[in-house]
Amino acid sequence: MFKFLKNIMNNGQVNFTNDAYSLHRILKTDIKKDPNVEEDEIIFGCGCFWGAEKCFWKLPGVVTTSVGYAGGEKSNPTYYEVCSGLTGHSEVVRVIWDKREIDVSDLLKMFWECHDPTQKNRQGNDMGTQYRSAIYYKNENNIKTILASKEQYQTELSKKNLGLIETEIKMIDSYFYAEQYHQQYLASAGSRQYCSASPTKVKLGVFTGSNYKLEDHIWENFNWEVDKCVLRSDNNPIKNNI
What is the tens place of the pLDDT at every residue in 199-209?
Answer: 999 999 999 99
Q: Is 102:57 a contact under the CB 8 Å cutoff?
A: no
Q: What is the pTM of this model?
A: 0.90
Annotated catalytic residue 46: no
Task: Identify the pLDDT of residue 11.
Answer: 38
Whole-number Å distance between alpha carbons of 226 and 207: 26
List pLDDT tens digits, range 76-122: 999 999 999 999 999 999 999 999 999 999 999 999 999 999 999 99
Q: List the catalytic residue out of 48, 55, 114, 229.
A: 48
